[in-house]
């Protein structure tokens, strides 16, 4: 697992080299703009939604004692929770919407690496098919991730375990994010069931890919490069894993 993790991290450096050698920077532009648009929309919705929910909580508070504190704190607490949920949902929404473009990019890069002619073209039928697979994968991974995150969050209230739960939550989120990025390449080779089996056998690769992806998103400006960079790194890592068999 550690070996796969290190290879997964190194794939990001190789992705930059590949982009530079083949002048692929134009492929980074559209996903960057799309990512910023999705992020701004979700940020606005979650922020405003948190304020509304906080206001409802204040209205439902039945006691006079502490009412002033609740009226001031509830909207901010609700906003913070909404933002956390928004960030969790954001990466899945992003992966679904950019899936047709990332799948096309992954295929074209493989054609370049294999020395063949680049014949892949965008089509609405293919885009719908790829987005449908993205939705299926996102739904599957999202509810599993939420179960783990909720369980670990509850464990964080147990004194000594609080130190461990935050890193574990981040690694779990990294695994599922990396899985989504690498599936842009796996979808041409494997059924969803087979892709799940491959990722379970190489969790370190998915964790490494997703870890960098989430760090880029967390930096905000990294949203501009996260989808494309992580897709190229994921493609290189899937090819490496296949070469082992």
Identify which of 109, 105, 106, 100 has the alpha carbon closest to the alpha carbon of residue 133.
100
pLDDT tens per residue across span 49-69: 766 666 666 565 555 555 555
Give helix then strand counts, H and E, for the chain: 8, 0
- Whole-structure pTM over 0.75, yes or no? yes
Neighbours of 240 (CB within 10 A): 17
Q: Per-residue pLDDT averaged across 155-164, rounded?
A: 73
Distance between CA 97 and CA 131 in Å, rounded?
7
pLDDT tens per residue across span 176-222: 999 999 998 998 888 889 999 999 999 999 999 999 999 998 887 78
Question: Which range (22-26, 107-111, 172-176) has the least confidence?
Answer: 22-26
């Amino acid at each position: 697992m550690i070996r796969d993790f290190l290879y997964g991290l190194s794939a990001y450096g190789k992705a930059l080299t590949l982009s530079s050698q083949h002048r692929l920077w134009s492929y980074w532009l559209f996903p960057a703009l799309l990512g910023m648009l999705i992020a701004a929309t979700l940020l606005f919705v979650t922020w405003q939604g948190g304020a509304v929910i906080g206001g409802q909580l204040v209205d439902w508070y039945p006691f006079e004692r502490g009412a002033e504190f609740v009226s001031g704190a509830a909207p901010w607490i609700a906003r913070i929770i909404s933002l956390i949920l928004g960030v969790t949902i954001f990466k899945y929404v992003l992966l679904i919407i950019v899936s047709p473009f990332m799948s096309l990019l992954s295929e074209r890069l493989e054609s370049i690496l294999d020395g063949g002619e680049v014949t892949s073209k965008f089509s609405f039928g293919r885009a719908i098919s790829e987005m449908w697979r993205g939705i299926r994968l996102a739904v599957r991974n999202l509810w599993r991730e939420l179960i783990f995150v909720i369980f670990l969050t509850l464990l964080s209230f147990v004194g000594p375990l609080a130190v461990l739960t935050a890193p574990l939550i981040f690694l779990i989120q990294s695994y599922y994010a990396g899985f989504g990025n690498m599936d842009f390449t796996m979808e041409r080779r494997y059924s969803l069931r087979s892709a799940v089996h491959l990722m379970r056998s190489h969790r370190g690769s998915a964790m490494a890919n997703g870890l960098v992806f989430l760090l880029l998103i967390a930096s905000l400006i990294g949203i501009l490069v996260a989808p494309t960079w992580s897709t190229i790194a994921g493609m290189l890592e899937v090819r490496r894993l296949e070469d082992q068999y």
